[in-house]
Amino acid sequence: MVRRDAKEEKWNAGTHFFGMILAFAGLVWMGLLVRESWPSVPALACVVYASLLVLMYMMSTLSHSFAEENKLRRFRALDQASIFLLITGTYTPLSVHFWNTFAANSLLLIMWAISISGFVAKVFFSHRVNRVSVIGFVALGWMPIVGLPFHEHWPVQAMLWVLVGGIVYSLGTIFLLNDQKAKWCHPAWHLSVIAASAIHFGAVVKFVAMEL
């Protein structure tokens, strides 16, 4: 199991604890925004997405909060597993709100199948816990690009917000890939996650939750 400097780990835990607090506040806000249209599918998708954001930050915080081997490994697996769910969870509110075609729904189902499979592999089989599948996460995150021919119903601004958030996430993986080579790369990765997830959260709020 890869271990990092204790001071750096405090920053790793602290940055995503801060992210968790923001995400929890966002979940409450999201619930208030969609309460009048509950339990429509887009409203449910918004709340599920915001809940998964809280889960991801919580698991990330815990994965950097323990030194004991078993706990460290367990929470690291949950951390990586929650990323699979968040990637598709982020895309879901926008998809169900703007698309209602067989092709779009099929793409969404495929993404959820991959995410759930990744979650199960990490949690129950500890698959590659010590070696994060960055390429797999990035590929899943950019998978909606396959649906570009069906994006005519998306507002251009919504597409731009999602695109910018995806770029920030992708650029942040440079820090993640080098966190064993250079100090403080992992906290930098965490900050890029906060920035990217804030952009995507803004997109879901502005173009879905506030429109319900």
200 is known to lie in a ligand binding site: no
Nearest Cα to 114, choosing from 75, 94, 153, 142? 142
What does the mean pLDDT of the chain come to? 89
Per-residue confidence at 46, pLDDT binned at 50, 70, 90? very high
Q: Is the separation of the CB atoms in 186 and 179 below 8 Å?
A: yes
64 is known to lie in a ligand binding site: yes
pLDDT number for residue 149: 66
pLDDT number for residue 1: 45
pLDDT tens digits for range 140-197: 999 987 776 666 677 889 889 999 999 999 999 999 988 878 888 999 999 999 999 9
The arithmetic mean of pLDDT across residues 85-100, rounded, is 92
The answer, yes or no, to whether residue 61 has pLDDT greater than 90, is yes
pLDDT number for residue 71: 85
Per-residue confidence at 104, pLDDT binned at 50, 70, 90? confident
151 is known to lie in a ligand binding site: no
Residue whose tokens read 């950019």: 142
Q: Does domain 6-211 have CATH number 3.40.390.10?
A: no
pLDDT number for residue 128: 61
